[in-house]
């Protein structure tokens, strides 16, 4: 414990600093994520129009920064069809209906978990897609896996949609032909896409394993869950590459898994630090129930604030200081004696 004391002091200082500037950091992070998400959507779909201008993009990101989660998700449901309406009116209407059904059945009921749909798409664009199921399993609920799988599907659907929009015409007949081809040929081939299906299965397995293990009454359960989840991720993608010809490089999977493991471990460390060596099993009962609870104290490191006013590092200074004290005491004794007389 003493050897790690400096590490825990650093953790407390970082958390204290973050809480001190939390009112600035959180909106700033949310604003940056909103800008990245809007730009990614515009780039992937290939939208060129008034809403793609920088001032409007920044304005939409600013709204997303301060709006509640439910209203921000509702804004996404409205904005995405607006990006499509200039290219294919019929497709934009169908996309709006699909997104509205998703909003009614899932997004409005679980607005915080629905943000993982956007997070999954952003992490795919950065090559860190495995980070989403790992962090969601550590800090979220089991409903989060639904949002993650929806994000995976949307990530593979968006490029196909962009191709259809680029080949679409302006007449009503051409729009219908493109729409028919999109839902009969491209979507059928998409849901037989090995990479998408394997990714969904691996994400589901990794998420479930981490979520189940971190909820167990084990010492260092979250860190064990992260380790086993990383191994399962490597095994899953390795088997998919060997036997299913999944179009993913194994070296990139290994590097991504190592990086995600480090990030998840750091996030868990800063989230909560427990002293498992002082863990106790407490049993008590009342009139109706019997309780058997494992109590694990949090690690609290006290930092002493020692102030050194003066340092005497020479014999002369030390001698002068002692003489001053003795002279003051002699003067005080003489004064008391004079008053007594």
Q: Which of 197, 125, 147 is nearest to 135 (CA)?
A: 147
89-98: long-range contacts (C-beta < 8 A, 24 or more apart)?
89/175, 90/175, 90/176, 90/179, 91/161, 91/164, 91/165, 91/168, 91/175, 91/178, 91/179, 91/182, 94/179, 95/161
Global pTM value: 0.78
- Average pLDDT on 308-312 reads 52
In the chain, how many H helices and how many E strands?
14, 2
- Average pLDDT on 35-60 reads 83
Q: How confident is the model at residue 41 (pLDDT cuts 50, 70, 90)?
A: confident
Q: Which of 141, 119, 140 is nearest to 130 (CA)?
A: 119
Q: How confident is the model at residue 315 (pLDDT cuts 50, 70, 90)?
A: very low
What's residue 263's pLDDT? 93
Q: How confident is the model at residue 243 (pLDDT cuts 50, 70, 90)?
A: confident
More confident residue, 338 or 46: 46
Mean pLDDT over the full length of the chain: 79
What's residue 5's pLDDT? 75
Calculate the CA 209 to chain-centre distance: 18
- Average pLDDT on 137-159 reads 89
- Residue 10 scores a pLDDT above 70: yes
Q: What percent of the chain has pLDDT over 70?
A: 76
Q: How confident is the model at residue 255 (pLDDT cuts 50, 70, 90)?
A: very high
What's residue 323's pLDDT? 61
Beta bridge partners of 291: 284
- Residue 253 scores a pLDDT above 80: yes
More confident residue, 316 or 76: 76
Q: CA 56, CA 67: separation in Å to the nearest integer?
A: 16
As given in the structure block, the two tokens for residue 81 are 């069809």
What's residue 155's pLDDT? 86
- Average pLDDT on 299-312 reads 58
- Average pLDDT on 311-340 reads 54
- Residue 235 scores a pLDDT above 90: yes
- Residue 329 scores a pLDDT above 70: no
What's residue 230's pLDDT? 94
């Amino acid at each position: 414990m003493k050897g790690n004391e400096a590490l825990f002091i650093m953790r407390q200082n970082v958390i204290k600093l973050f809480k001190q500037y939390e009112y600035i950091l959180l909106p700033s992070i949310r604003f940056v994520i909103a800008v990245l998400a809007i730009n990614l959507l515009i780039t992937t779909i290939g939208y060129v129009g008034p809403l793609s201008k920088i001032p409007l993009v920044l304005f939409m990101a600013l709204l997303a920064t301060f709006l509640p989660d439910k209203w921000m998700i509702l804004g996404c449901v409205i904005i995405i069809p607006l990006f499509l309406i200039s290219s294919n009116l019929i497709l934009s209407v169908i996309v709006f209906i699909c997104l509205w059904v998703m909003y009614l059945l899932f997004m409005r009921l679980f607005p915080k978990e629905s943000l993982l749909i956007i997070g999954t798409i952003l992490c795919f664009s950065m090559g860190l897609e495995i980070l989403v199921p790992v962090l969601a399993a550590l800090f979220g609920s089991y409903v989060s896996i639904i949002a993650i799988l929806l994000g995976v599907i949307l990530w593979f659907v968006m490029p196909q949609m962009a191709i259809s929009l680029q080949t679409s015409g302006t007449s009503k007949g051409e729009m219908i032909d493109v729409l028919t081809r999109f839902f009969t040929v491209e979507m059928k081939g998409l849901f037989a896409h090995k990479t998408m299906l394997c990714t969904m299965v691996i994400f589901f397995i990794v998420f479930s394993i981490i979520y189940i293990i971190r909820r167990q009454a084990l010492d260092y359960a979250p860190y064990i869950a992260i380790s086993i989840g990383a191994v399962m991720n490597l095994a899953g993608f390795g088997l998919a590459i060997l036997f299913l010809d999944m179009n993913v490089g194994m070296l990139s999977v290994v590097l991504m898994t190592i990086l995600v493991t480090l990030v998840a471990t750091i996030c868990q460390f800063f989230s909560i630090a427990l002293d498992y060596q002082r863990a106790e099993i407490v049993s008590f009962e009342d009139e109706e129930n019997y309780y058997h609870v494992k109590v694990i104290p949090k690690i609290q490191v006290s930092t002493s604030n020692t102030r050194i006013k003066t340092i005497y590092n020479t014999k002369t200074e030390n001698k002068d200081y002692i003489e001053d004290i003795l002279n003051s005491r002699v003067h005080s004794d003489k004064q008391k004696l004079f008053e007594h007389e």
